[in-house]
Structures are given as structure tokens and as C-alpha cells.
């Protein structure tokens, strides 16, 4: 069993990565980007922040994206784009 202090530090580190990735995503996501570009941008920033290391650190699940009436946890197809500012867009990182 992992030391409770180490567990706490791991949770804090994960929360900080989440906060920084969210901040980065808010700056670069805009109408006209493909959903694949958005997912790759988010996942690349996660990899950089957690210093990806095989099974020790990295991405556990792909980035789920939803647009308008699409249900959660959608995986984008090549060419799917955010069309206009009125589109409803959701990102799900689990």
C-alpha cells in the first residue's frame, strides 16, 4: 500500500496538471480548429506536464470531446471542427 503522504502528493500533482491544462486549453481553443487538433493540444500539454513515463506517468484515457447535441465521451473523427462561437463544446478528461 502506498504511503498516505505520497498519495496526497500524487493527487495534488494531478490537480495542478489539470488546472494548468485547463488554463492552456482556454487560450488555444477557438472556432475553426478541428476537434482532433484540440484533443492533441490537450494531450500534448498533459504529456509535457506529467513528464510521460510509460505506466508510471502519462495519459490514462483519451480526451473526450462533445459538440452540441453529441453525448459525452465522443472521440472526434478527422475533420470534425468547432464551427462557430454559438456551438456548445465540452471537454472531458477522466
Q: What is the pLDDT of residue 88?
A: 60
Tell me the angle at which helices 4-28 and 35-50 cross, rounded to the nearest 10 degrees. 140
Taking only the tens place, the pLDDT of each residue in 5-52 is 988 988 898 889 889 988 999 998 888 788 888 888 988 998 888 876
Q: What is the pLDDT of residue 90?
A: 62
Enter the pTM of the model: 0.73
Q: What is the pLDDT of residue 92?
A: 64
More confident residue, 54 or 85: 54
The CATH architecture of the domain made up of 4-92 is Alpha-Beta Complex (3.90)
More confident residue, 67 or 87: 67
Q: What Rg do the C-alpha atoms of the chain give, in angstroms?
A: 15
Backbone angles phi, psi at 33, to 5 degrees: -75, 145
Amino acid at each position: 500500500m502506498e504511503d498516505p503522504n505520497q498519495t496526497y502528493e500524487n493527487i495534488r500533482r494531478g490537480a495542478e496538471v489539470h488546472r494548468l491544462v485547463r488554463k492552456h486549453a482556454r487560450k488555444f481553443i477557438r472556432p475553426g480548429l478541428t476537434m482532433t487538433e484540440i484533443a492533441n493540444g490537450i494531450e500534448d500539454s498533459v504529456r509535457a506536464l506529467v513528464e510521460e513515463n510509460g505506466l508510471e506517468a502519462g495519459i490514462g484515457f483519451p480526451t473526450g470531446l462533445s459538440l452540441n447535441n453529441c453525448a459525452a465521451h465522443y472521440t472526434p473523427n478527422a475533420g470534425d471542427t468547432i464551427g462557430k462561437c454559438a456551438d456548445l463544446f465540452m471537454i472531458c478528461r477522466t
